[in-house]
Amino acid sequence: MPFGPTPRPAARVAHRRELNRMLRIGQEEMERFFEGLVASLQAKGVACAITSGMACVEFGVAPSTKDCDVLCAIDAADEVRRTLDATSLRGARCGYRSHLSAPLDPRWLGGGWTSHFAWRVGDEEAVLDVFGVAPRGSVRWDLEHKGLYASPHTVAEMKRTDRPKDWPFASALGVKLIEAGDPRGWLHIFDIDVLQALAGRIPVPTEIIAGRPVLGLLVAGDERLEKALEGEVKFWQRLDRVRMRIYHDAVRPYAAALNRDPQADAPELGVQHACRVRHAECLLAINPMRTYGLERLIAEAKEQAAALAPAGALAWLPDVRNNFTGLAE
Amino acid sequence: MTVEQASPEWLTPEVRDHLREVAYAYHVRVFGEEMARVNFLPRAQRKAYLHDMIDHARSKGVRFEKEALGVSR
């Protein structure tokens, strides 16, 4: 029984389990909560959109995901934070989720950092990540999102991560885009069978081939296509790996300072935030990517990919500088 | 703001059918038969299935939370 007199020690585990079962937030409730949050931000005029896993579910390319990732306009960071502070879930208030989380402030949001939040209900957490720059985004996400969700093009670009498990979602979204008549879908398909099955029936525009040279091999029926695709994927994966490392290295002194500061875990979001800003201003580089240098990042990723991909596989790589708009210049 | 794509000439009903066949075969290959079926369900049914699946997995102790690293993949 969940309520009543304090149970004897032997029954406490079962008691707690039953309480947790009752408190458990269903996925439907979780989604409604996040969609409501984004809708209320949009109603205030804040450009924001749900992306990643929840967006994939919306588009019919479903991963198992519970968390919510939201892109928001960089200059709206303060409004987003105020809204999070005022939004409760079953009475639970919002708080920062980690000492690695950058403050939700336009400066760091614009530098490619992510702010992590959670609402804790018993043993449950509703988890939200907020970022302003879509990783690898080549277009302004705020100009083409659909309702509450980022566009499939933006979501697919974000799926070019260092994790092999993300790539089938990119390819599946690429097919979705072509089904919708958007030729940019060709930029996202990394499966040779799918590419070849589509190429016989659907034209590949020349400007799309220019943006992704490997498609030239597809159109020409060149047998080096498979090798080139492998090289392309390895390159994107290493690009993401190096990018992540740049941010991991940059966050360490800041996270160490938060570990020593009890205000980092104060109950109030406002206090947590002020603490993070105070330490970030001293210890957290606003844009570590810019400091590191995009050309250096690309060169390093190429060097690492060359060691992993078949010989000659990197001869058809795309120019990825456009995928770091806002971070590199 | 949203971008609406005009339907291009090449997107004929036959091409749409072909795309759907290719997409379904790909989903079966990479996500498995069950998830391919789910992905091609109407939105409401798809979401209901996934909600049940995630709730069931969580009730069995599966944890879905990803790490908070300060930067997103």
Look at residue A60 and tell me if it is in a domain: yes
Positions of chain A with pLDDT under 50:
1
| Whether the Cβ atoms of residue A208 and residue A185 lie closer than 8 Å to each other | no
- pLDDT score for A18: 66
pLDDT at position B2 is: 45
Nearest to A149 by CA among A232, A245, A250, A48: A48
Query: What are B1-43's pLDDT values in tens digits?
Result: 444 556 899 999 999 999 999 999 999 999 999 999 999 999 9
Residues A233, A190 contacting (CB under 8 angstroms): yes
Q: Chain A partners of B59 at a C-beta cutoff of 8 Å? A: 21, 24
User: CA of B54, closest CA in chain A: separation in Å?
Assistant: 7
Per residue in A214-223, pLDDT tens?
A: 999 999 999 9
What local confidence, expressed as pLDDT, does residue A21 receive?
Answer: 63
Using DSSP, state whether A49 is helix, strand or coil. strand
Q: Which residue in chain B has the smallest CA separation from A203?
A: B10
CA gap A327, A329 in Å, rounded: 6
CB-defined contacts A:B, below 8 A: 150
What Å distances lie between residue A29 and A32, A134, B12, CA to CA?
A: 5, 26, 40
Strand (E) positions, chain A? 48-51, 68-72, 94-96, 114-121, 124-131
More confident position, B43 or B68: B43
Which residues, at least 6 apart from A206, have a Cβ–Cβ distance to it below 8 Å?
A: none
Q: Is A63 inside any structural domain?
A: yes
d(CA B37, CA A107): 44
In a domain, A221, yes or no: no
In angstroms, the Cα distances linking B35 to A167, B20, B46 are 16, 15, 10
Count of domains forming chain A: 1
**CB-based contact (8 Å) between A155 and chain B?**
no
Top residue of B22, B51, B59 to mutate, by most chain A CBs within 10 Å, is B22
Give residues with Cβ within 8 angstroms of A238, minimum separation 6: A162, A300, A301, A302, A304, A305, A308
Would the CB atoms of B71 and A193 count as touching at under 8 Å?
A: no
Q: pLDDT tier at B63 (50, 70, 90 boundaries)?
A: confident
Q: What angle do CA A88, A93, A97 make, to 5 degrees?
A: 120
Give the pLDDT of residue A5. Answer: 56
- What's residue B42's pLDDT? 95
Q: Is the ipTM here above 0.85?
A: yes
Question: Which H or E run includes A39?
Answer: helix A27-43
**Position A87 in a domain:** yes
Report the pLDDT value the prediction gives residue A1, as an integer from 0 to 100: 46
Q: Of A136, A164, A174, A144, nearest to A325 (Cα)?
A: A136
- CATH number at A85 reads 3.30.460.10
Q: How far is A237 from chain B (nearest CA, A)?
A: 10
Q: Which tokens in the block code for residue A108?
A: 């760091």
pLDDT score for A3: 54
**pTM for the complete prediction?**
0.91
- By residue range, what is the domain housing residue A43? 23-131
